[in-house]
Structure formats: structure tokens, C-alpha cells
Amino acid sequence: METGAKKFTYKTLVMAVSTVLGVAVTVLALWFLQKLLVPKYQRGVVEGSMIEEYYDSNEPHEVLFLGDCEVYENISTVTLYENYGISSYIRGSAQQLTWQSYYLLEDTLRYETPKVVVFNVLALKYGEPQSESYNRMTLDGMRWSSSKWNAIDASMTDGESMIDYVFPFLRYHSRWDELTRTDFEHVLDKDRVTINGYYMRADVMPEAEFPSPMPLSDYTLPQSAMDYLMRMYELCRENDIELVLIKAPTLYPYWYEQWDAQVRQFSYDYNVPYINYIYLRDIMGLDMSTDTYDAGLHLNIYGAEKFADYIGRYLTNSFELTDYRQIPEVAQQWEDDIVFYDALRDAQLAELQQYGELRSWGANAIES
Amino acid sequence: MLFTSLPFVLFVAILVLTYYAFVPHNERWGLLLIASLGFYFFADPRYLIFIFVTALTAFIIADITEDYNAKRKAYLKANKADMDADVKKKYKATTTRVTRLLLALSLIINLGILAYTKYINFFIENINAVRGGEPLSFVNVIIPMGISFYTFQTVSYSIDVARGTCKAQKNFWKFLLFVSFFPQLVQGPISRYEDLSKTLYDPKPFDFRNVSYGFIRILFGYFKKLVIADRLVIGLKTLTESPDEYKGAFVFVVMMFYAAQLYCDFTGGIDITIGIAQMLGITVKENFDLPYFSKNIKEYWNRWHITMGTWFTDYIFFPLSVSSRMLKLSKWSRNHLGNAIGKRVTVYISCFCVWLATGIWHGAAWHFVVWGLMNFVVIMASQELEPLYERFHGRFGLKTKGWYGAFEILRTFLLMSSLKLFDCYRDVGVTFRMFGSMFTTFNAGKLFGGELMNLGLSGGDYLVAGLAIVIVFLISLVKFLKGTDVREWLYDRYPLFVLSCVCLLLAVAVFGAYGAGFDASQFIYNQF
Amino acid sequence: MNKKLMSIVLAACVAVSIAACSGEEEDTSPVVLSGGQAAEATVAEGDADAAPSDAENAAFSDGYVFTYNGTVITMNAPADDIIAALGDGYSYFEAPSCAYEGMDKVYTYNSIVVRSYTRDGVDYIAAVELKDDTVATAEGIRIGSTEEDVLAAYGEDGEEGTSGIEYTKGDSFISLIFESGRVVAITYTAIVG
Amino acid sequence: MDELIEILKDLHSDVDFNTCTTLIDDKILDSFDIVSIVSEVDDRFDVTIPAKELVPENFNSAKALWELITRLQED
């Protein structure tokens, strides 16, 4: 009788232990598999790593840039620091939509309150969610908060669902077939791909002639985008932040005059500065035969340094920004950034010297 | 809410927890009713009206019928002494007519709703085709989810109560639960009231073993469905959407894919259904018994979609073949056509009707009708040839040889797979053409020209599907040869059981063909 | 379980479902999913294989179709064949999208501009722009036509914008831009789903 | 009873109907056989077995079948 009871308890114990172990192993395995299966955005297409990288940056940022590739490829944050002592961050991402910029601002305010927020207006042309892959690159990197939830909610295209964002595993599980070396190398930690949000390219491809823009039957900027611009304006006002609207100096995709007029009207109505740098290309000294790496769509490091120098002068003159070069703790961190910046530039230049093109960055680096 | 959607999984998880944690035993059926109606509500609120009307009519008429039968019995008993045989007979005849009328009313309403929603446009289409001239316009109807399944359940209930072989349910809400029980709403099985009511209103109390069995069965169901069926669908779609590009050997590929896909989809769904019921302490009748191990087509139909087969046997085949008119016809034909042929006439007529009905039940389309009748033809042919087989087997002593059994199984499998082509191509002409092309231009070499890689499945997909099929096959094989249920074997070695659960779950999670990139395909029997 | 409570719950369910029923009629063609293949056999449509054979790429779209020098250009149709058929007389521009998610290509011919977009590695027609009055739409409208001509050809139900009018058909729309009562530009655009 | 066994033997000569009690459960008799039995019984015993009596319990053994026939005869 006694042994029977003992046996019973032993068996129950084994069952209990194996059940608990089973649950634990499952949860752990799913967590690990999620880490393994989500895209890493470490080579070629690095744009998906940018939003997340912000949380690793420990400096205070007085200037925050929001927008798409027209900010993250066109403005050198290091130049802003070196020339003016501005400590800035670019929370840019590929085809960042206006509401995504708004929610990224909300998100950033949870960590710090910049003095100036610079928003690039090109995205105002989009009134509706555009593409899942861009959504993913912008949204997956955000830390969880109501802002992320709302950003996802506003951005989903048909066929996307919230649950796939909550558990990216559900979206990416079928990548088991396409895993690359990078996926295995960066399961748990990721390499840095930007310098405070600036994505560097050191190659050169002169600007070509763009086709003439397609005439539109209606040039009204979508109301939904303008509403979020309004919310951005109000959020800045509540937090004593100066909002600045810019249009980057690149010409394609085309920025219609009619759109420009509407943004100017907004700038006039709400007393928000708006600068269209397309008109200032010559003044800032942009030479589009050397300052772009993709025939004029985006600036390379030479262009980005010129544009940063120009916009930096405006920012220092217009707002009371701290010269962080004078503040040792911050300066020390920036020195590290500069080291990284220089090394990255030198590595790219070396590859250009060797192959005549970049192999470890950009399209050539995309793994298949 | 599809079985394969995450909301459904959460729905079931929450239900099972609430069911055991918060609801006392005798009220559990109430929770199931709310869950079932909720399930239906979220699919489409309008469905509720249909299921409600069907359940209510069947319930009320069954109730009246039973009362009437009881009174009739009492009357007969009370007046036994006063009635002579003639009066008794007369009384019986009139009362039987009343019960028959009641039954007819119930069936007309129930089957009428089914016929109207599911077949009205098929009907109009065919009238238009025949009539010519100004075509009639189609009717805008909804086909409630699972209407064929729950209607068949109410019909069998009505008939059984009228026959007096089943006691009527006196609580409408309990009856509504029988009709709407959500796990079997999507693709069956077609439960009998007598079977399901035993545990539906009085489920087994919480039992860890039972719940574990149910759990692993659900996982296995998802494994079959998501890893195999929904993956093969992609290839099947490519192959059948442009049949003329994929002839000959590819038709054979279609046969094999579809055999695996249909089996995994359907039995996987049933595994999920029965597994959920088992977790809830409810016993649902098995619907499959290793169908692909059948040695002839008749056996196949006794092992595939069993609850449908027995339904047709009990409520169409038997009543038809033992009706007085049929018995008379049988006598007549035996006298005029000789015993050998005469004996068969009635059976074949009934059988023809059953397969016609089976075909139509599967869908409002001609290819289903043809498919049903082809089954009839094959069954009849094998029935007629049986004596010949017997002699052949006897002469060579084949019955005792293991390899011959394997041959019979393979033969039946290929035969059934060929018939299923009707369902693949959904067009009678195309099916015959494609089937023919297997014999005229097989050209097996084409398969290895890399075209298999262009069907939408990658090498990895083939590998995963192949391995998964091997696993499913081995589990079936063990059951077939040794009669062992792998689940029980594993449960007795509990850590292995847990390990299997973990592996199944991870395999489904990673290799399942769900989410973006995979079309959410519905259960095959969903709208039946 | 409390019977009363349950009756109320059920009554509510039925009431809601009836309310939902009287709402808008969804498209509920009697689609029967039987084969697992997501290919849906729509009984009501009868034979589906009677596809129009004349314009091959019409199968890709139910929208506007434009013909240039005998080549049919349909929005959302695969671009390669169409570009090949249009011949060599074009100047070409391409712009990769951010993060290499595709390539916008622009082909400029004498009288039209054709644009394409990329989806899963395949180029599709995104837009066609009519540059001069040597070409006309299938409905007979060309640059220089009057606003009345347009309304007569396309109807009154267009969507009026700040500088023109837009008509949507299937997965495409045509924009006609006016200046002082005359058409100055015509574009076809694909609606990418 | 003997006549009944004879009917059954005609269908399946290799089964011992006197002892077997799982004619349906072991799938020895199929639905076609049952219909044949009903029609033979109708012929020889002048008893019509209604559809509702076509249940496994009544056909699992020759004995059960015989009981069914006698019950129907009495009725």
C-alpha cells in the first residue's frame, strides 16, 4: 500500500515536472525562433534597423529629424556636431508616413524632449497606408507603447493584422526557408548601421535628367496626412518644441509647386518655419555631379555634409541650442560616434578604391 | 473564424479554462451553447436565424410527435380489450399517417431551407441552360456555415423520434446546443442525437489524461492541416488552374497531391473537432478509420467520412430498399428477370439514389453529381465482379498473401484518387480529358525538368511536406498493423508525450502554411 | 445555468442577427469551397473559361485600356511584353525605391510616357501619360478636347479635382486635366491593390 | 430459425451463423446483405422488417434476427 502511494507520487511528480519543462521549452524555443526568423536588416537593406537603434543612443538630442530617406540619407549628424556642436538624432525610416512620424515623435517624447523637431514634408503626399514592407521597417523597431499600437493601427494595409505585429513570428515563420548567415549571426545582437540615424553612402553617381512630372487632376494634399501634421504641431506646442518643416534638396520623387503652396500656407497659418531646400541647392553649394550616389535621388556623404552644414547654420542661428562640444560627457560620446563615422567612411572608400563600387553596403550587399 | 486562425485557438483555450475552472458540471452545457452561438455570431450574425429556425421547427415537431405517440400507445393499451384486429389496424393506420405528416412537415422545412440556400442558384442555372431565351436572374442567398451538417443532424433526430427509437429532448436550449455544437459545425462529423447527447449535457468530469489526449490530437490535426494540406494546396492550385499546361504525368501529381491534401485537411479538421470535444469531456463519433488502407471501394466508403455514409445508409438506403413498394418491385423483378438479376434491381436503384444524393450533398455543381455517380458505377462494377475475383483469389490462393493485400490497398487508393479528380478540376469535361492524358502522354521525364519547382512550392516545401506525410503515414501504419494508438503509447511514457507535444507545436508554428504569403484556405467541407 | 439570463442572451443574439440581416446586402454569391484549392467555383457565373482572347493582357485588368501604335496597354498588366511591343524609340529612366523595395521605371516615347512598378520581382504597368494631340483615348478624347467632349465621352459621374476630373474603372483611373475649358493632359493610372 | 440460417448461409457460406454475435460490428454483413435479408424474410416468413428495425442490435447475430422476426410476427 505504501509503495503504491509512493509510486503514485513519483509518477505524478514526473508528469508535473515534464509538463512544466515542456511549457518552458516551448516558450523559450518560440522566443528564440522569433529572434532567428525575423529579418535582421543588417546587410543591404539596413533601413529596418534604424528605428530600433535610437534606443541605444545615450546622448541628449536637442534636434530630432523625422521623415523618410530624404532625411536619413541627406543629413550628416556628425557634421552638425562637428561644425555647430548640435547633438541631433534622425528618426528616419524608408517611406516613413506622416502618422508614423507623428507616433515616432510621441515615442521619442517618452525618453527625452528635444528643442527642435524637423519634419520633411515629402510624406504628406501619402494619405493612405502604402506597403507592408515599409510598415515593417518603421514599426517593428519601435518599443511597445500605446504610440506603437496606434502607429500600427494607422499604418496597416489590407491583409495586415495587429497580431502579426505583436508576434512577428506569425508573420515571418515561413522564412525558415530563406535564412542567411546574417540571420544566424545577429540573432541576439545587432550591429550599428547609422550614426545617430544618418545612413552613410560614400559612392558617387551623378544626377541624371528626371522625366517630367505627371500632371495630376487634384493637387490637394490628403487630409489624413495634414491632420497628422496638425497633431504634430500641437504636440510640439504642448511640449515647448519648435517645429520646423523642410523639403530636402533632392528632386525626385517630384514635389509639386501646388503641394509646396499648401505647406507654405500651413507655415503661414500656424507660424511654423518651412524651408524648401530645392531652391537653395546652389547657395549651399550642392554639386549634383558629385554629391549623390544614385543619380540624384539621395545625397551621398559629400552632399549630406554640405546639406547638414547649411541646415546646421540655420538651426544655430534660429534657436538657442547647446554647443555640446563644450560639455565633456556628451562630447566624449560624440567623439566615439565620430570615430565610427570616419571608420565607416574609410571602409567604404577603400572598397570603392578596390572594386570601383560598394560591395558591403547597398544593393550589392543584399543576401539572397 | 476558421479553425486555423489564431482567434479560434484563443477562443478554444479560454473556453476550456472557463469550462473547468468556473462553471459547475451541470451548467457546462450552457457555456457550450453560448460559445457555439457566439462562434456562429462572429462568423455572420445572419447565420443564427437559419440555425434557430431549423432547430426550433425540428424541436417543436419532434416534441408534438413524441407526445402523440405516447398518447397513441396509451390509448391502445387502455382499449386493448375493446378493439378487435380490424379496428386496431385502422386506428394504427390513421395515427401512423399523422406521425408521418408531422415528420414530413419537419423534413420539408429543414431540407427546404437547405435546398433553397444551397441549390436554388444551381437550379436556376440549369433551368436557364435548358430553357434558353430570357435567363432567370440568380437569387441573392447566403449559405449558412455548416448548414448541410446541422440539417442532417436535425433530420436524423426528427426521423428517430418519429420512429420512436430516440427520446425527444424536452429542453429547447439543450437541443439547440446539439444542433449548433461549434467544433463540429464547420465540417462535421454528422452526429446522432442518441450518441452525442450522452456526453453533451453530462460531460465527463475533468480528467488529465482525457484533456491531454484531446490536446495532442488537436495539435496533430493542425499539423496535418497546416503543414501538409495547406502547403500542397498551393501546388494544386497552380496545377488545376491551367490544366492544359499540366497534362500527363502532372495529372498523376495532382492525384497524389489531392489525395494527401484532402485526407490531411479533412481528417486534420476532424482531429481538431474531436480533440476539442475530448478536452471538454464530450465523446464525438469517429469519422475516419484509416480509409487509405481499404482493400476495396465499398470498404473505403465504410472508413471515409463514416458519419455521412451511415447517415445515407440509415435514412435513404434502408428506408428506400425496404419500403413496401421496393419489396414489391423486388418480387416482380425476381419473377420476370430471374433470381440472380432480380435480386439486385432494388438494391441498385436504392444505391443509385444514395450516390446521387451524396454527389448533390457535396455541392451544387454537375461535377459533384458525376463524381457521385462514378462512385456508384465503380461500386456496382466491383460488386458484380466479386464472384469473379473470388474465383481468381481462390485459384491462386491470393487472399493469404500479404503482398496481394498491399496490392489491393494500392489499387483502391489509386481508384479513389482518380475519382477525386472530378473535385480537383471542377469540370466534368476537363476531368475526363486530363484523366485520358495520363494514358496518352504521360511523359514522366517532364516532372524532372524543374517544372515542379514552378508550382509555387520550394524545395524546402517539398521536403517538409514529404517528411510530414511520412510521419502521418507511419502513425497510421502502426495503427493498421498493430492496432496501437500512438497517443496511448506515448502517454504511458509521459515525458515522451510532452516532447511530442512540444515538437508538434513547434513544427506547426514554424512549418505551418499560415499567415501572410499563404492563402488562408478554408476547410474543404466548410460550406457543405 | 440561470435560465432567464440565458434566454435573454439568446434573444439578444437573435435580435442582433435580425438587425444585421436588414442591413446592407453583401455580395453573397453561392460560392462553394469544396476542393481546398482557393479557386472558388462560382456556380452563378457558369463557364469561366470563356476569357476574352483578342486582347491578351485584358485578362489582367477590368479597367481602362489604351492603345498606342497598335499595342494594347492595360494598367497592372506585366510590363515586359508591352514595352517590347512598343519598340525601341524611347528614352529610359529608372529610380530604385527606398530600401530596394522595387524599381520605378519610366519609358518616354514620342507621344506617351509609360511608367511601371515592381511587385515580387515583376514589372507592371503603373501609368500612361499622353503627351500630345496625336494620340487619343479609346473614348476619343485627346489633348485639346473640350470639357463638354469629356463629359459626353465619360459621363457626369467623374470625381472633380482642383485641376481636372478623374474617372475610375476597375483597377485603373483616368485623369483629364483642364486649362480654360480644354484638356491639357491625360493620364491613366493603375490602382495597385 | 433453420430457414433463417439458410438465408444467411446463401449470402456468406464461410461464416458460422449459429455462434457469431458480431455480424455487424465485424462488418461481416454489409448494407447490401441486410437488404437482401429483409427481402428474403419478407418472402419466406411474410414479415416486413421496417427501416427503424435496421439497427446493429437486431442483425449482430442470427439469434437476434430471429427474435426480431418472431416479435414482428406477433405484433
- Nearest Cα residue in chain C from B229: C36
Q: Is B501 on the interface with A (CB under 8 A)?
A: yes
What CA–CA distance (Å, rounded) separates B458 from B235? Answer: 10
Which residues in chain A touch residue B499, judged by CB atoms under 8 angstroms apart?
Answer: 22
Q: Is the pTM of this model over 0.80?
A: yes
Task: Tell which B residues from 326 to 345 touch D, by Cβ distance under 8 Å.
Answer: 327, 330-331, 343
- What is the domain partition of chain C in residue ranges? 61-190
Q: Is D46 on the interface with B (CB under 8 A)?
A: no
Q: Say what the pLDDT of residue C60 is.
A: 55
Give the closest residue to B167 by CA, choosing from B136, B133, B201, B134: B201
pLDDT in tens, A12-41: 899 999 999 999 999 999 999 999 999 999
CB atoms C98 and A214 under 8 Å:
no
Percentage of chain A beyond pLDDT 70 is 98
Task: For residue A352, give the H/E element and its range.
Answer: helix A328-355
Walk along chain C (193 residues) and give the pLDDT tens digit of each residue. 444 444 444 444 444 333 333 333 222 222 222 222 222 222 222 232 322 233 344 445 578 888 888 888 988 888 888 988 888 888 888 888 877 777 889 999 988 999 998 887 788 999 999 988 888 888 888 899 998 889 999 888 888 888 889 999 888 899 999 988 899 999 999 887 6
* DSSP β-bridge partners for residue A138: none
- Nearest Cα residue in chain B from A164: B515
User: Contact A296/A305 with Cβ under 8 angstroms?
Assistant: no
Q: Is A27 on the interface with B (CB under 8 A)?
A: no
Q: Please say if the pLDDT value at position A357 is more than 50.
A: yes
Task: For residue A243, give the H/E element and its range.
Answer: strand A242-247
Which residue among C30, C37, C41 sits closest to B237, beta carbon to beta carbon?
A: C37
Q: Say what the pLDDT of residue C35 is.
A: 28
- Nearest Cα residue in chain A from C107: A211
Q: Please say if the pLDDT value at position A49 is more than 50.
A: yes
Q: What is the DSSP letter of B366?
A: H
Q: Which amino acid is at A127?
A: G
Q: What average pLDDT is seen over chain A?
A: 92
Residue B110 vs residues B54, B144, B155, B254, D52: alpha-carbon distances, Å: 6, 13, 7, 37, 21
Q: Is D2 on the interface with B (CB under 8 A)?
A: no
CB atoms A22 and B510 under 8 Å:
no
The values of phi and psi at residue B231, to 5°, are -80, -45
- C51: distance to nearest CA of chain B, Å? 13
What sign has the CA pseudo-torsion A189, A195, A201, A207? positive
Q: What average pLDDT is seen over chain D?
A: 84
- A319: distance to nearest CA of chain C, Å? 32
What CA–CA distance (Å, rounded) separates D54 from D59? Answer: 8
Query: How would you class A347 by CB atoms within 10 Å of its CB: exposed for 0-12, middle for 13-18, buried for 19 or more?
Result: middle
Q: Say what the pLDDT of residue B285 is.
A: 92
- What is the domain partition of chain B in residue ranges? 6-130+138-203, 204-284+427-528, 292-422
Average pLDDT for A208-218: 86
Q: Say what the pLDDT of residue A142 is.
A: 95
Residue B48 vs residues A361, B57, D5, D13: alpha-carbon distances, Å: 58, 14, 52, 54
CB atoms B322 and D43 under 8 Å:
no
Walk along chain B (528 residues) and give the pLDDT tens digit of each residue. 578 888 899 999 999 999 999 999 989 999 999 999 999 888 888 889 999 999 999 999 999 999 998 998 888 888 877 777 788 888 888 888 888 899 999 999 999 998 888 888 888 888 888 877 777 777 777 888 888 899 999 999 999 999 888 899 999 999 999 999 999 887 879 999 999 999 999 999 999 999 999 999 999 999 999 999 989 988 888 888 888 888 788 888 889 999 999 999 999 999 999 999 999 999 999 999 999 998 888 888 889 999 999 999 999 888 888 888 888 888 888 888 777 777 778 888 888 999 999 888 887 788 888 888 988 998 888 888 877 777 777 777 766 777 888 888 998 899 888 888 888 887 888 888 888 888 887 777 777 777 788 788 888 899 999 999 999 999 999 999 988 889 999 999 999 999 999 999 999 999 998 876 664 433 333 333
Q: Does domain D2-74 have CATH number 3.40.1480.10?
A: no
CB atoms C41 and B30 under 8 Å:
no
Of the two residues D64 and A145, the one the predictor is more confident about is A145
- Nearest Cα residue in chain C from B230: C36
Q: Is B122 on the interface with C (CB under 8 A)?
A: yes
Give the closest residue to A40 by CA, choosing from A29, A53, A28: A53
User: Contact C99/C165 with Cβ under 8 angstroms?
Assistant: no
Which residues in chain B touch residue D51, judged by CB atoms under 8 angstroms apart?
Answer: 163, 314, 318-319, 322-323
A-C interface (Cβ pairs under 8 Å ≥ 3): yes
Q: Please say if the pLDDT value at position A232 is more than 50.
A: yes
Q: Is B514 on the interface with A (CB under 8 A)?
A: yes
* Inter-chain CB pairs, A–C, below 8 Å: 81
User: Contact C141/C183 with Cβ under 8 angstroms?
Assistant: yes
pLDDT in tens, D38-59: 888 888 888 888 888 888 888 8
Packed helices B366-396 and B339-362: angle between N→C axes, nearest 10 degrees:
140
* Inter-chain CB pairs, B–C, below 8 Å: 114
| Topology of the domain covering C61-190 | Pathogenesis-related Protein p14a (3.40.33)
CB atoms A174 and B501 under 8 Å:
no
Strands (DSSP E) found in C97-179: 103-108, 112-119, 122-130, 159-160, 164-169, 172-179
Q: Say what the pLDDT of residue D33 is.
A: 84
Residue A220 vs residues A225, B239, C160: alpha-carbon distances, Å: 11, 47, 12
What CA–CA distance (Å, rounded) separates D10 from A85? Answer: 106
Q: Please say if the pLDDT value at position D66 is more than 50.
A: yes
Which residues in chain C touch residue A159, judged by CB atoms under 8 angstroms apart?
Answer: none
Q: Say what the pLDDT of residue A7 is.
A: 61
Q: Say what the pLDDT of residue A368 is.
A: 66
Q: Is B31 on the interface with C (CB under 8 A)?
A: yes
Q: Say what the pLDDT of residue B520 is.
A: 40
Test mutation, C91, C101, C167, chain A, max A CBs within 10 A: C101
Percentage of chain A beyond pLDDT 90 is 74
Is residue A114 very low, low, confident or very high in pLDDT (cuts 50, 70, 90)?
A: very high
- Domains of chain A, CATH where assigned: 61-126+190-365 (3.40.50.1110)
What CA–CA distance (Å, rounded) separates B298 from B308? Answer: 14
The values of phi and psi at residue C124, to 5°, are -130, 155
- What is the domain partition of chain D in residue ranges? 2-74
